[in-house]
Amino acid sequence: MKYVILLGDGMADYPLGRFGRRTPMEVARTPNMDRMAREGTVGLINTIPAGFPAGSDVANLTVLGYDPEVYYTGRGPLEAASMGVQLGRNDVAFRCNLVTLSGHEKPVMEDYSAGHISSPESRDIMADLENKLGSEKMSFHPGVSYRHLLVWRGGPEYAETTPPHDIVGQEIDRHLPRGNGGKDIIALMMQSMEILKASPVNTLRISQGKRPASSIWLWGQGKAPLMKPLTEKYHLRGAIISAVDLLRGIGIYAGLDVVHVHGATGYIDTDYAGKARKALEALRDRDLVFVHVEAPDEMGHEGNAEGKIKAIEEFDEKVVGTVMEGLRKMSSYRLMVLSDHPTPISRKTHVNDPSPFVVLSSDGDNLRNGNSFSEKVAQKTGILVLPGFLLMEHFLGDWRGFIEKEGR
């Protein structure tokens, strides 16, 4: 049996008046996911337990079968694993965004991604920060685009921090780090502003009409979690394909091999088809492949409805369609497509509503309970996996028992 999970990050949404109260998933042309809904099993998964932030870190731990109440320690340490950064017992890893702030007396979070700054540009900036602020106590590590890492030895693990994509267009004052160690984090961010003012990278970006990286923004901190690999639990070999360090890191903790795709950007211009081809290649000597596509989520954060519709259509055609065609040549398979959480255009951030999933099993264990794949159809089926981490147990284990129970 081959198992494939295809995840469109933040794909789920709310109805929009401009589209006749339809969501981007309903507006988008998605013949492959719709076919899966007609032939497979559709439902909802609750990926965000009560009291947890509606983040991709919590959601994707849930999707891979880990209870966040047991295993979640923060986003930073998960990304550290992807970047090959070893964390000591007292090391606290922070997600370190490069952001654009506007205004002086009352700064506003203009852009959580510094205009989706390129990786070569951001590497130069992170090297400058490491040179001027790095020490035995803290170190800066470059990632992809605007997504980076700070390791702070004995750092403020329990400070209250805010994801920058949650506060776009808002004054930052009331969202600055607070609580135990909050002042230390703010002081470090202020130091970065002075360094970035003189950055040659920013000087060039401004001359080109691009947004500068005017500050770092620290959030999502935590220490290394203790997780049993799902590859050991289910006695299988697996791989993960994602442009995003967070997902790669979760995959590493889960025991999955990281498969790199040239042209995978974590944005709408990513190589969708390349990811699908690599997934099929990985299945030649593995049992499980998890493919993550970030583009729908990025479009949600930007409030770009047309861009999100395009990302969903590209995901359906080039990822879902390509993988479905490849799987038909295999004797036995189970394919899941889902969103990890909604990122509504109207909110420009994540929400904790349940997300739709669809599973197609080659062995005939399907309820055939949907005429298309959307939030509304999933809700109408009456299937809600709660707690959400149990869905992976069903998917890799007794799927027939799940079908029989839900089909009664």
Q: What is the mean pLDDT of residues 27-34?
A: 98
Q: What is the mean pLDDT of residues 339-365?
A: 97
Q: What is the mean pLDDT of residues 345-364?
A: 97
Instruction: Report the C-alpha gap between 399 and 391 in whole angstroms.
Output: 9
Instruction: Report the C-alpha gap between 60 and 62 in whole angstroms.
Output: 5
All structural domains of the chain: 2-72+228-406 (3.40.720.10), 82-222 (no CATH)
- Residue 72 pLDDT: 96
Bridge partners, 8 (sequence order): 293
- Residue 179 pLDDT: 96
Reading the block at residue 11, the tokens are 């794909």
Q: What is the mean pLDDT of residues 334-345?
A: 98
Q: pTM of whole model > 0.85? A: yes
- Residue 104 pLDDT: 75
- pLDDT tens digit sequence for 188-231: 999 999 999 999 999 999 999 999 999 999 999 999 999 999 99
Instruction: Report the C-alpha gap between 173 and 365 in whole angstroms.
Output: 53
The three-class DSSP label of residue 294 is: coil
- pLDDT tens digit sequence for 84-94: 999 999 999 99
Q: What is the mean pLDDT of residues 18-33?
A: 98
Q: What is the mean pLDDT of residues 37-62?
A: 96
Instruction: Report the C-alpha gap between 235 and 372 in whole angstroms.
Output: 34
Reading the block at residue 167, the tokens are 């506060």
The percent of residues in the chain predicted with pLDDT above 70, rounded, is: 100
Q: Pairing relation of β-strands 41-45 and 355-361?
A: antiparallel
Backbone angles phi, psi at 4, to 5 degrees: -130, 135
- pLDDT tens digit sequence for 307-328: 999 999 999 999 999 999 999 9
| CA distances (Å), origin 219, targets 34, 76, 177, 185, 288 | 38, 8, 8, 9, 32
Report residue 408's pLDDT band, with 50, 70 and 90 as the boundaries: confident
Report residue 105's pLDDT band, with 50, 70 and 90 as the boundaries: confident
Report residue 338's pLDDT band, with 50, 70 and 90 as the boundaries: very high
- pLDDT tens digit sequence for 127-154: 999 999 999 999 999 998 999 999 999 9
The three-class DSSP label of residue 196 is: helix
| CA distances (Å), origin 92, targets 83, 124, 217, 393 | 15, 23, 15, 31
Handedness of CA 172, 178, 182, 187 (dihedral sign): positive
Residue 407 has pLDDT above 90, yes or no: no
The percent of residues in the chain predicted with pLDDT above 90, rounded, is: 97
The three-class DSSP label of residue 323 is: helix
- Residue 234 pLDDT: 95
